[in-house]
Amino acid sequence: MTTVIDNDMLASILTDVRPLIGQGKVADYIPALAQVSGNKLAIAISTVDGHHFSAGDADERFSIQSISKVLSLVVAMNHYPEEEIWLRVGKDPSGQPFNSLLQLEIEQGKPRNPFINAGALVVCDMLQGRLSAPRMRMLEIVRQLCGIQDIAYDPVVARSEFEHSARNAAIAWLMKSFGNFHNDVATVLQNYFHYCALKMSCNELARAFLFLANQGRAPHIHHPIISPMQARQVNALMATSGMYQNAGEFAWRVGLPAKSGVGGGVVAIVPHEMAIAVWSPELDEAGNSLAGVAVLERLTQKIGRSVY
């Protein structure tokens, strides 16, 4: 049985899930993230046929963190031929924590996929090689995608990440030793940390990611963001690698392409229908939003959607 989406239905899902708050842990490995209240809960949905729904703290901005890895890949797809991208980064799930170095050494500096840190750093290295101002370009694209001009980076989060960048720097230098990282490490790390420090609300994220549900087109933008085939490919990567080592568990429970970030946000796509953004800062052991995933699980059961 399926239920029609409206704001009340979304609010009732949040009420059902709220008791889970307290069972996860707000990310504390970056001090600026540890200061966010764990009590937040939000959902927003933008549909291909022009509707928008939301409930909870859906207007409040938070650090989108690794959700930005999808956007940097999309920008790279706009600037590099397919073969060049996939020569440097793979398309398979890693089954490892997002910041692991283990596989990278064994696999000679080629990251498993663009959504683990190593893969996103290679993508940022590519952007540094082709764009004159990669940080500004990302802001322009995100502002255009959600139609809102004051989207910005959180300088405190970006700085905090840079001050705790030992592991990401190690990843970048290891790739450099294998010849898979071409630009200055500190410059690329700064770009990567700024992308992670993008501040957006669930309402903005759902609007910004709608092109992935709509064959690469944002309804309000004249030119395609990416081709229908590329949108299908990005969704496939999200389905297999968007939730880190919990991709299988997430496919089982929710059944949609999705990407999470340690700020507690998750974006999920129902191809041809809608983009969904949820937010709850407390994370499970893999680094995915504990209550956010539960919200997606209830929603997909209620509306009867899954790609499987």
One symbol per residue from 142 to 181: x for binding ligand DON (CB under 6 A), - otherwise; what is it?
-------------------x------x-------------
308 annotated among ligand-binding-site residues: no
Bridge partners of residue 42, in order along the sequence: 56, 279
Identify which range of 46-54, 177-185, 212-220, 258-266 contacts ligand DON by CB under 6 A. 258-266
Nearest approach in angstroms of CB 165 to ligand DON is 8
Identify which range of 102-110, 205-213, 256-264, 266-274 contacts ligand DON by CB under 6 A. 256-264
Alpha carbons 239 and 166: distance in angstroms, whole number = 29
69 counts as catalytic? yes
Q: Which amino acid is at 263?
A: G
66 annotated among ligand-binding-site residues: yes
Interacting residue with ligand DON among 65, 230, 235, 245 (CB under 6 A)? 65
Identify which range of 46-54, 198-206, 230-238, 255-263 contacts ligand DON by CB under 6 A. 255-263
285 annotated among ligand-binding-site residues: no
Q: Does 257 bind ligand DON (CB under 6 A)?
A: no
Nearest approach in angstroms of CB 259 to ligand DON is 9
**DSSP string computed for 183-227:** S-HHHHHHHHHHHHTEEE-HHHHHHHTHHHHTTT--TT-SS-SS-
Phi/psi for 113 (5° steps) reads -160, 165
What's CA 307's distance to the chain center, in Å? 19
CA dihedral 125, 276, 155, 241 (to 10 degrees): -30
- Strand ranges for 104-178 from DSSP E: 152-153
Identify which range of 34-42, 89-97, 257-265, 272-280 contacts ligand DON by CB under 6 A. 257-265
244 annotated among ligand-binding-site residues: yes
User: Burial, 180: exposed, middle or buried (Cβ in 10 Å; 0-12, 13-18, 19+)?
Assistant: buried
Q: Are 280 and 22 in contact (CB under 8 A)?
A: no
The catalytic position among 66, 72, 160, 280 is 66
Interacting residue with ligand DON among 185, 213, 262, 275 (CB under 6 A)? 262
Q: Does 287 bind ligand DON (CB under 6 A)?
A: yes
> Left if phi > 0, otherwise alpha if psi is -120 to 50, otherwise beta: which for 261?
beta
Q: Which residues are catalytic?
A: 66, 69, 192, 244, 262
Binding residues for substrate: 66, 117, 161, 168, 192, 244, 262
Q: Which residues bind ligand DON (CB under 6 A)?
A: 65-66, 98-99, 117, 161, 168, 196, 260-262, 287
